[in-house]
Amino acid sequence: MDLELTETQTIFRDTIRKFLEEEVPFSRVRELEKQQRSDEALWATLGAQGWLGVALPEEADEGGLIEAGLLVEEVQRRAALVPVAEAISCAVTLQRHGSRERAPELVERILSGEMTVVPAILESVDRFGEVAAEVNDDGLLSGEKFFVDYASIATHHLVAAQCRGAVGLYLVDRGQSQIETTSTPTLGRTPAAHVRYQNASAEQLCGEDGHAFLIQFARVLCAVQALSCMQVALEMSVAYTSIREQFGQLIGTFQAVQHHAADMAIDTESTRFLVYETLDALDRGEASEEQVAVAKAAASRAVPEVVMLAQQLHGGQGFIEENDLYFFTLRGKERSLAWGTTEECLALIGRSVEAPERWL
């Protein structure tokens, strides 16, 4: 694919970036972190402005998964506490794999911000493909889900569960008394929870194909978030080393510093290529599970290296929370672990190592 953005994509990226820089100061994010809250005002604005709908445009040439990636990347640049990636992954999954009767209405409500739907997939076994949560013949869901991002502020959960051995995705209204959410502290300070469902009413919207797609799409968007942390850490490091003096010289003139910056740039750009190439393939329905795993493994491996080099270049400045770098150090490490670690993704890739390669 051509990594150069189109004129429309560039305008969209620049518009959302300018808006977020003006409307979401880091001081506001710090306060929300202390309160363990999401940014409700920003979330309402994103829905009202129609930005959440960029992944599902009315016209084929108006947007898609690349644009969804750009939105997620820009939101992550401000460390904003809103479930953009979660809601978009659910909306696109329902649009592509949901029931024809219910999906259009639900997708419209999600993209307008009327509903906040987040995926609830992972269980205690810590393997995405294994589902123990169960829906009985009366449509009642029982089970547990771990590390559900924004579970406590969402209006609905899209839960992976099985019924008579068949895995699917079930929409669950969080307001039911049969649902218990327990806040789970996370490294990146993203609001997350452990959720217990005890005979909660559930509506099946997708089958196994939807479950598989949701995992793959959410995994790529998580890689986009990691990429965003890398990009900001690189930009902040270049800016800092351009003004910080040591031994009477700007530290950016030292060869060792330049080598670190070059390594950070190489990791960031190579990850960008893999991630957006995968988004493009996923948009066209051509991305394999292994391709998604390659993109996520690359992002998960690179982001800790890039943000740690950023910390090294900042020296003591990087370790204080008054410096905005800490947002991306913590969020980056968290995103490297979410939706599949490096090791988990490499294990998926390893299954195809001995498969014959089609060169023509």
Q: Is-contact 349 293, C-beta < 8 A?
A: yes
Query: Residue 63 has what pLDDT?
Result: 60
Cβ-based burial of 3 (10 A; exposed 0-12, middle 13-18, buried ≥19): exposed
The per-residue pLDDT for 60 is 45
**Amino acid occupying residue 223:** A
pTM as predicted = 0.95
Helix (H) or strand (E) run with residue 170 in it: strand 166-173
CB atoms within 10 A of CB 17: 16
pLDDT at residue 61, as a whole number = 47
Residue 26 pLDDT = 97
pLDDT of residue 356: 80
Whether 280 contacts 65, CB under 8 Å:
yes
Going along the chain from its start, the domains and CATH numbers come out as 7-111 (1.10.540.10), 117-206 (2.40.110.10), 210-350 (1.20.140.10)
Instruction: Look at residue 43 in the predicted model and tell me its pLDDT.
Output: 96
Say what the pLDDT of residue 66 is: 95
pLDDT score at 353? 80
Instruction: Calculate the alpha carbon distances from 81 to 38, 43, 252, 331 in Å.
Output: 5, 9, 33, 11
| pLDDT beneath 70: ranges in the chain | 1, 58-63, 360
